[in-house]
Amino acid sequence: MSANSSQPIRVALAGCGTVGTGVLRILVQRGDELYARSGLRFEVAAILERDPTRPRGVAVPHARFVRAPDELDELLVDGSVDVLVEVLGGTDAARHVALAALEKGLPVVTANKALIAIHGRELFDVARRHGTCVAFEASCAGGVPVVAAIQRGLIATRINAVYGIVNGTCNYVLTEMLEKNRSYAEALGEAQRLGYAEADPTLDVDGTDSAHKLAILALLALGADLDVGAIDVEGIQSIHQADLAIARTLGYACKLLAIGLRTDAGLSLRVHPALVPLDHPLARTRGVTAAAVFLGDAMDQLVLSGSGAGSLPTAGAVVSDLVEVACGNARRDFERLPIFREPNRAPPFVPAGDMEYRYYLRCFVDREPNAAAITNILASARVDVDTRTRPDADSVVLITRRVREDDLRAAVAEVRKLVPEPPPVVLRFVEPNGE
Ligand code: NAP
Ligand code: HSE
């Protein structure tokens, strides 16, 4: 599809929740401003939504509402729309409508990282066969234009690491817990109310959403296979307020990081809570802000940060893709960039257990003999302890030297024989080079 300036581009909007409503607001209420900046007019011709009566605060007089994906199929086939925006979430109905559009030769714009991370290869293949494209800027870090940065500004750079905070909900929760002393449940409830969280917020807090985003970033930046299963994932559910506070006294901030790293042995992809020095840009990334750090051969560090979630920032990224699609740029990128054409000769993945880190371990012991016994267990498991402190009467914090992940895991299994519950809190220190 390429824009004909006299005709508005007719959009089918699948999903009209947090992001969909933002897209409506931009296209309907800021249509003139968008026209002034892009020379393009968009008309929302169809909306797929289970409950069309839900108040949205935006009038869409020309839109036809449909309630089920099958009904939308008919509109995609009968020539009444030019492009599909998929912001339903999930993968079943989303895949269904995306495939229906692509098979009709219509471009698809999506904010849905699960869809791209899990079904991206299939969608790219169908798009290519039907001479159209898939655009997904909003999928990786909300309103932060990381996809465009990789595909354009960094196209000549060999990216060796991409890592950062890609889930706004988790960063919001951790920030609220530390700075406002809010409970985990209270902070998560607020993130849901503000429209940051996924429909099922477990996907945010257990690290799955970050893993979906990392799979996409690693495909684009590191030439990885699109394979969420290759990512080692931990969430933030077992982080306590005390750990955030202790980390700060040690000179670190605790953040949920998604990390993609090129190593001599292959690619290491992982998502886990990590301790970063307080003077690092990620430590200063607070609230719903997301931030991605790129390290490349021809440049120092590039940090992109901004609103990682929320209605308008994400909708802004969706609409930027709509403009790229309408100008024909998205289709050209799709044809030009090999990553969309074929599973490339991707480097192998490095097993998580082979990586080495310094670790923070907080074990829950109220008796000094047990604290001493834990230190001995670690020593016999080849885990060197650098410092040992007792932040309170009920726990001991051990900071290790660099050790292999497998050795650390074996040591923790031994510790749990002595103190089965609660399990120790285990955090990795991440260095500024992403290791
Ligand atoms: P949302 O608020 O839950 O909106 C999704 C809308 O689609 C809801 O109104 C839902 O209706 C409707 N829907 C879902 N499945 C449907 C079906 N089979 N038939 C008809 N209607 C259906 O979700 P969102 O926050 O806008 O997120 C949408 C997508 O954008 C997700 O993939 C998400 O990961 C991504 N995203 C979100 C953000 C953010 O800040 N929220 C940022 C970046 C990317 P019901 O409510 O009735 O289920
Ligand atoms: N739930 C996601 C987040 C939405 O909090 O980051 C943005 O992708």
- The Å distance, Cα 69 to ligand 2 centre, comes to 24
- The reported pLDDT for the residue numbered 342 is 67
**pLDDT for the residue 53:** 87
Predicted local confidence at residue 424, as pLDDT: 95
Ligand 1 neighbour 50 (Cβ under 6 A): yes
Say yes or no to pLDDT of 291 above 80.
Answer: yes
Q: Quick one: pLDDT band at residue 300, thresholds 50, 70, 90?
A: confident
* Mean local confidence (pLDDT), 247-259: 97
Average pLDDT, the chain: 94
CA gap 182, 173 in Å, rounded = 9
Choice from 24, 26, 88 to test ligand 1 binding pocket (greatest atom count within 8 A of CB): 88
Distance CA 273, CA 429 (A): 9
The answer, yes or no, to whether residue 151 has pLDDT greater than 80, is yes
Q: Whose CA is nearest to atom 1 of ligand 1?
A: 17
Confidence of residue 337 (pLDDT cuts 50, 70, 90): confident
Ligand 2 centroid distance, CA of 190 (Å): 14
pLDDT greater at residue 61 or residue 268 = 268
For residue range 346-381, list pLDDT tens digits in order.
Answer: 899 999 999 999 999 999 998 888 888 999 999 999
- Give the pLDDT band (50/70/90) at residue 27: very high
Percent of the chain with pLDDT over 70: 98
Confirm or reject: Cβ of 424 under 6 Å from ligand 1. Answer: no
Atom of ligand 1 nearest to the CA of 317: 43
With a cut of 90, say whether residue 401 has pLDDT above it: yes
Is pTM, for the whole model, over 0.85?
yes
Residue in 49, 92, 119, 193 to alter for ligand 1 test, most ligand atoms within 8 A of Cβ: 49
Closest CA relative to residue 133, chosen from 114, 116, 157: 116
Indicate which ligand has the atom closest to the C-alpha of 85: 1
- Asked if residue 21 has pLDDT above 80, the reply is yes
Q: Which of 104, 113, 213, 417 is catalytic?
A: 213
Given a cut of 80, whether residue 344 has pLDDT beyond it is no
Q: What is the pLDDT of residues 29-88, one digit of tens each?
A: 999 999 999 999 999 999 999 998 888 889 887 899 999 999 999 999 889 999 999 999
Residue 3: per-residue pLDDT: 59
Average pLDDT over residues 277-296: 97
Residue 162: pLDDT band with limits 50, 70, 90: very high
According to the model, what pLDDT value does residue 5 have?
A: 55
Residue of the nearest CA to atom 48 in ligand 1? 50
Is the link from the previous residue into 422 a cis peptide, with omega within 30 of 0? yes
Query: Percentage of the chain with pLDDT > 90?
Result: 87
pLDDT at position 110 is 98
Give the ligand with the smallest distance to the CA of 204: 2
Q: Per-residue pLDDT averaged across 305-322, rounded? A: 97
Does the CB atom of residue 137 touch ligand 2 within 6 A?
Answer: no
Q: Assess whether 417 carries a catalytic annotation.
A: no
Distance between CA atoms of residues 407 and 258, nearest Å: 22
Whether residue 204 has its Cβ less than 6 Å from ligand 2: yes
